[in-house]
Amino acid sequence: MAAENWVYMVTAQTPTNIAVIKYWGKRDEVRILPVNDSISVTLDPDHLCTVTTVAVSPSFDRDRMWLNGKEISLSGSRYQNCLREIRSRAGDVEDKEKGVKIGKKDWEKLHLHIASHNNFPTAAGLASSAAGFACLVFSLAKLMNVDEDPSQLSAIARQGSGSACRSLFGGFVEWKMGSKDDGSDSVAVQLTDEKHWDDLVIIIAVVSSRQKETSSTSGMRESVETSLLLQHRAKDVVPKRILQMEEAIKNRDFASFTQLSCADSNQFHAVCLDTSPPIFYMNDTSHRIISLVEKWNRSEGTPQVAYTFDAGPNAVLIAGNRKVAVQLLQGLLYYFPPKSDTDMKSYVVGDNSILKEAGLDGANSVENLQPPPEIKDNIGSQDQKGEVSYFICTRPGRGPVVLPDQTQALLDKKTGLPK
Ligand code: DP6
């Protein structure tokens, strides 16, 4: 190792993911080993992602991390497990131009600076830990020249947060629960890449919530301890559903995909209700969105839109194609219009080119929306202002990438401190 005070760094971007067959319950809390397999779709990182810069320098005196600009502690066991696992696989690194030469063994003594940023508000209750831990592990693997494939890296990210292991790939991803005690076969694999089913459109309704939700970690611990339905789900229901979902994705069979996604989301929330004390993640707005989608799907005869809800009230709605997504957005904005002072472009974010297609880019366009024809009763017309904070329009997306452009780094190349 040369004695100069160089700073060597890597910046990477990693997507978030949403499960369509849910992970809920651990058989090993420390290694984060699940009680069932799960399947997710990776969301386009242009709209939802984490960017992480990791740096190493002989001048750093301890490992430090900044999340969204604020320094956070790395002392928790999840961070420590990820750092230990990745350090133990580090390789030799040499950058002649910068005068950097790090041998395998040096990594044990060298300290790291890590800066991470989500391009979506943490308060939105979207799975930031999934993208966060996946990005931490992916960027460190690049920095340290770790010679492991994405599945092997997923087993490290898993130890940061279970759902993070599925963010190591784009497209549709399966986390195989594995059977070994050491967790080495509890890894994510890619089912299909993001191009395989690229007419899907995903609209997320970020639902306003006043209550502080039970964290996934403690919620699933309580479910494992008290819910008989969880045992039945893990043993008898999910194994069959996983096979059916694999088929549905392979064949782009939207009807089966929708039936399975909705049923699995509803069963996950039923397990939460079956937990003692019961856990409520969805609220009235979530339930209203489910009713609207169910009514629409029924009236069309074939499913148009799938829904799924994680450990919070936000609705993730998956439309089979762009035309359906346009109708969906019109229906959603009819029932959940923005507050009068809200600009449409900040109410529908992500791929908001859809606003134009929906005829919703002009002034007063929301007021002119007609009620969806299938809704005959008058369940809440345009009186739900403020129930949805905003919508994110996105699609299936790619896996992690290194960002070679130095201007995107979150750490200063001379000091290794946040810019
Ligand atoms: C409902 O991965 O956040 O989103 O492993 O304890 O960190 P830990 O939990 P986490 O749980 C995610 C639960 C879920 C379903 C899913 O993503 O499969």
Pick the CATH number of 201-394 from 3.90.740.10, 3.30.70.890, 1.10.533.10, 3.40.1160.10: 3.30.70.890
Model-level pTM?
0.96
C-alpha dist (Å) from residue 271 to 23, 38, 224, 312:
12, 16, 10, 14
Domain assignments of the chain as residue spans, ordered by start: 8-193+403-408, 201-394
Q: What is the largest CA-CA distance in the chain?
A: 75
What's the pLDDT at 386? 81
Specify the ligand 1 atom closest to the Cα of 21.
18
- Class of the 8-193+403-408 domain? alpha beta
22 CB less than 6 Å from ligand 1?
A: yes
Residue holding tokens 């919703």? 360
What's the pLDDT at 399? 98
Question: For residue range 158-189, what is the model confidence (pLDDT) as tens digits?
Answer: 999 999 999 999 999 999 999 999 999 999 99
The rounded Å distance from CA 5 to ligand 1 centre is 40
Low-confidence ranges of the chain (pLDDT < 70): 1-4, 122-125, 127, 211, 363, 375-384
CA distance 16 to 350: 14
Question: For residue range 345-391, what is the model confidence (pLDDT) as tens digits?
Answer: 999 999 999 999 998 887 678 888 888 877 655 555 556 678 899 99
What's the pLDDT at 2? 47
- Across the beta sheet with 401-402, the strand order is 70-72, 64-67, 111-118, 49-57, 8-15, 401-402
38 CB less than 6 Å from ligand 1?
A: yes
Contact of 410 with 12, CB cutoff 8 Å: no
Q: What are phi and psi of 21, to 5 degrees?
A: -120, 120
What's the pLDDT at 373? 75
Q: By three-state DSSP, how is residue 4 classified?
A: coil
What's the pLDDT at 377? 56
Non-local CB neighbours of 165 within 8 Å, separated by 6+ positions: 134, 154, 155, 157, 158, 175, 186, 187, 188
18 CB less than 6 Å from ligand 1?
A: no
Alpha carbon 409 to its chain centroid, in Å, reads 22
Pocket test for ligand 1, best of 216, 238, 308 (most atoms within 8 A of CB): 216
Contact of 348 with 391, CB cutoff 8 Å: yes
Residue nearest to atom 4 of ligand 1 (CA): 310
Non-local CB neighbours of 235 within 8 Å, separated by 6+ positions: none
